[in-house]
Amino acid sequence: MSGGPAVRVSIESTCEKQVQEVALDGTETYVPPLSMSQNLAKLAQRIDFSQGSDSEEDGIDGKPRDREWTKQEPEEEEGTVKFQPSLWPWDSVRNNLRSALTEMCVLHDVLSVVKEKKYMALDPVSQDPTTPQVFQLISKKKSLGTAAQLLLKGAEKLSKSVAENMENRRQRDFNSELLRLRSQWKLRKVGDKILGDLSYRSAGSLFPHHGTFEVIKNTDLDLDKKLPEDYCPLDVQIPSDLEGSAYIKVSIQKQAPDIGDLGTVTLFRRPPKTKAGTQQWHVKLEAAQNVLLCKEIFAQLSREAVQIKSQIPHIVVKNQIISQPFPGLQLSISLCHSTGEKKNHRATPDKPKPDDHLYVLEHNLHQMMREFHKQQLSSVVMPHPASAPFGHKRMRLAGPMAYDKAEITSLQHNEGLLEKIIKQAKHIFLRSRTARTIDSLASRIEDPQIQAHWSNINDVFESSVKVLITSQGYEQICKSIQLQLNIGVEQIRVVHRDGRVVTLSHQEQELQDFLLSQVSQILHLLILIPKYHTYNSKTLTGNTLLLHLYIFYFLFFKLYLADSNCIILFENCFECNIFTLVCL
Amino acid sequence: MGVTCVCQVPVSEGKSVQQTVDVLHKKLEQLGAVKQGSFCVDCETYHATGNVSGQPTKLLYVMHNSETPLSCMGLFEGGPCMIADANFDVLMIKLKSHFQNAKGHKVECRGSRYRYCDFLIKVGTVTMSSSARGISVEVEYCPCVVPGDCWNLTKEFMQSFLGPSVPELPSVFAAKPEGLFAPSDGVDTMTQYLELFNKLRKQQVPGSNVR
């Protein structure tokens, strides 16, 4: 710029030193200015290492915090300066650097650990998919296609294996069924056939039937067709004469007037319902075994009926055995065997006849047969000492003790099946008839009352009943009539309370008469008591007859004189000698 | 088991053994006895081997009685006797080395058995190797076991059908101790039979001189 002379401007820094002190003579002592390093130190102090690179995030928050820290730091500095004046000015810098180093080391460690990926892993923050939609669709379709192909391949393999398994399983089913069959029945392999044994021979039976059944494989079925519900891969073929079901009918009837219809008993009982879950072969085999046992029982009974001599011979006709336990009575044992086919022919079922079949006796027959089997087996009890012969234990003594024939026969069982069952039937019949007699008397006679207490525990050949005859209001007196009846096979034994024993035969009339006599004894006592209670008991028995006569004559004459149109009846109860007057 | 008495009936003059036996049967049936089958008593002889020479060989007799069918009696003559099980025969076979069977000496007595109330009468023919040697009669009184008590009754009964040939009390009973209860059992019967057999064996065969 022109116009005037140039003005020299000089700029000087105001490097005025601070005055430290002013001496008394006016000289000023200046504070020495900071050297370069001192200046650097001063500036370095001002660096705030706590402020991070993310100061922009902290934003507004960070600044007041910074201000606080910077405020704190100078305070701390001052504090430290105050307490430790010898602290050199780089101390804070060093501390800050050290903390930075620590943090860097930590970061380095973390990174190295993360790099190993064993203990720590970095998880990227999910980011929004920014791929375009079309691309997504195509990729999805492709992945779905591969998945579908895999699945289809797998399904094909599965269906093939299922078909194979079905075939295998049917084979295995047959084997498992066979195993189950073998666990319950005896089987053996003959050539290429499997045969079994359903007879009781191994259990001690001596019946000559072979009892062989054959096991048949049933596995060639069409897979496509639906399997029937009761399909079983195993089937058994039983001998033809053991088909169907059988039972032994035991019944007691009055003597049949005509013998024309003997041997025609074919009453058939409905077969018992099979348990759910049992195999068909099991049911078949069990039924066949039952038929075999019934046949054996019937064969044994008919053999005994023919061989054993008895007073009244037994009649054996076709499938029925008839014997007479008591005169006028008939015991019929028949084998009712029905094969399954006949059921279809019967259009209408027969009118159900009163079932007089005695189940108890049938059961007893089965039991006795099984006992006989067991005896066959176990009669060979091991002898002591080992050199002694086999047989019944007592029989071993027969030799050394020189038993004669009578003693030997008493040791052996000589009663056959038929005799036993006839005895049981006799007892059952006698017992039921005795019960009927007592009950009919009790219902007929109102006063005194007859009570019968049957005992629960009875034997096959013996039962007992206690009969009490009492009268209402006079129970104390009537305690004397208590009868214990022991019903045996053919006789009834009566034991009085005072110990007297009377044996009655099987006749019904005898028992009735006997009970009536007991009833009249009670009546005798009852009639005596109200009239003669003033007399003491000692004179009662001695004077009863006299008194009876006295009363009789007195009444007789009085009535006769008074009214001649009266009827006098006598009733003489036996054993009592009592006259009762009835005046009309 | 009662008291048994075994005696020998001599064969009647001019009659065979069978005829005498038939006569006895008839007498018994007239008396009222009931025939109850047959009986058989047999005896086998065994020599004891291996004993010191000079001593007579001991003879073991093994006897069977159909009255006790499951028993077997082993007797030494005059010596100990025992009643055993029927397997004793098999045992004797096993003891072949010690006891040898004298096969020709087997004696048998067979006949019929009668029962008359409490008495059992057995009339039998004693045969040795199928030749009849004599007749034996055994009478048993079943209810009693003490021989002294019932000997008189048995003797009287025997008199009724045997006639004069009634024996005296058998030696086995006489040998029993007096006063003690000594019941008789099968051994006594067998001893009596043994005595009878030995006697008959020593006798001549009747009718052997008939040639």
User: What's the pLDDT tens digit per position in B194-209?
Assistant: 999 988 888 766 554 4
Distance in angstroms (rounded) separating the CA atoms of residues B7 and B192: 8
Distance in angstroms (rounded) separating the CA atoms of residues A317 and A339: 20
Nearest CA in chain B to A401: B83
User: What's the pLDDT tens digit per position in A419-472?
Assistant: 889 999 999 999 999 999 999 999 998 888 888 999 998 888 999 999 998 888
DSSP A201: G
The per-residue pLDDT for A143 is: 95
User: What's the pLDDT tens digit per position in A10-26?
Assistant: 887 776 777 788 888 88
In our burial notation (b when 16+ CB lie closer than 10 A, e otherwise), range A365-382 reads bbebbbebbeeeeeeeee
CA distance to partner chain A, nearest, from residue B195 (Å):
20
From chain B residues 83-122, the ones with a CB under 8 A of any chain A CB are 83-87
Overall average pLDDT of the B168-182 stretch: 78
Q: Is B186 exposed, middle or buried (0-12, 13-18, 19+ CB in 10 A)?
A: buried
Reduced to 3 states (helix: H, G, I; strand: E, B; else coil), residue A128 is: coil
The per-residue pLDDT for A102 is: 96
Element at A241 (helix H, strand E): none
A403 touches chain B (CB under 8 A): yes
Q: Do A399 and B185 touch (CB under 8 A)?
A: no
User: What's the pLDDT tens digit per position in A179-217?
Assistant: 888 888 888 888 888 898 888 888 888 888 888 888 888
Tokens 């099968």 sit on residue: B186
Provide, rounded to the nearest whole percent, the portion of chain A with pLDDT above 70: 70
Backbone angles phi, psi at A95, to 5 degrees: -60, -45
DSSP A8: P
Q: Helix A91-116 crosses helix A36-45 at what angle (to 10 degrees)? A: 60
Measured in whole angstroms, the distance separating CA A307 from the mean position of its chain's CA atoms is 48
Distance in angstroms (rounded) separating the CA atoms of residues A132 and A371: 94
The per-residue pLDDT for A545 is: 59
CA distances for A218 relative to A177, A318, A555, angstroms: 11, 39, 99
N- to C-terminal Cα distance for chain B? 45
Quickly count: other Cβ atoms within 10 Å of residue A337's Cβ.
Answer: 20
Distance in angstroms (rounded) separating the CA atoms of residues A65 and A57: 13
Q: Do B84 and A400 touch (CB under 8 A)?
A: yes
Q: Helix A417-444 crosses helix A508-532 at what angle (to 10 degrees)? A: 30
Highest-confidence segment of A383-392, A465-474, A568-577 = A465-474
Task: Tell me the one-letter amino acid at B167.
Answer: P
Q: Do B67 and A399 touch (CB under 8 A)?
A: no
Nearest CA in chain B to A387: B87
CA distances for A319 relative to A241, A244, A498, angstroms: 15, 16, 51
Residue A163 pLDDT class (50, 70, 90 cuts):
confident
The per-residue pLDDT for B15 is: 84
Copy the structure tokens of residue A276: 């759910």
User: What's the pLDDT tens digit per position in A25-51?
Assistant: 888 888 887 788 888 888 888 877 676
Nearest CA in chain B to A390: B87
CA distance to partner chain B, nearest, from residue A414 (Å):
18
Measured in whole angstroms, the distance separating CA A398 from the mean position of its chain's CA atoms is 50
Distance in angstroms (rounded) separating the CA atoms of residues B203 and B132: 12
Residues of chain A with C-beta less than 8 angstroms from the C-beta of B86: 389, 399
Q: Do A389 and B85 touch (CB under 8 A)?
A: yes
Q: Is it true that the peptide bond before B80 is cis, omega within 30 degrees of 0?
A: no
Distance in angstroms (rounded) separating the CA atoms of residues B102 and A298: 53
Higher pLDDT, A277 or B127: B127
Give the torsion sign (CA, A146, A148, A151, A157).
negative
CA distance to partner chain A, nearest, from residue B56 (Å):
29
User: What's the pLDDT tens digit per position in B60-75?
Assistant: 899 999 988 889 999 9
Residues of chain A with C-beta less than 8 angstroms from the C-beta of B85: 388-389, 396, 399-400
Quickly count: other Cβ atoms within 10 Å of residue B20's Cβ.
Answer: 19
Short-list A447, A476, A477, A479, CA closest to A466: A479
Residues of chain A with C-beta less than 8 angstroms from the C-beta of B185: 402
Residues of chain B with C-beta less than 8 angstroms from the C-beta of A389: 85-87
User: What's the pLDDT tens digit per position in A402-413?
Assistant: 888 888 877 776
Distance in angstroms (rounded) separating the CA atoms of residues A314 and A308: 9
Q: Do A403 and B71 touch (CB under 8 A)?
A: yes
Question: Which residue in the set A400, A405, A408 is minimally distant from B85, CB to CB?
Answer: A400
User: What is the ipTM metric for this complex?
Assistant: 0.71
User: What's the pLDDT tens digit per position in B80-119?
Assistant: 889 998 889 999 999 888 888 888 888 999 999 999 988 9
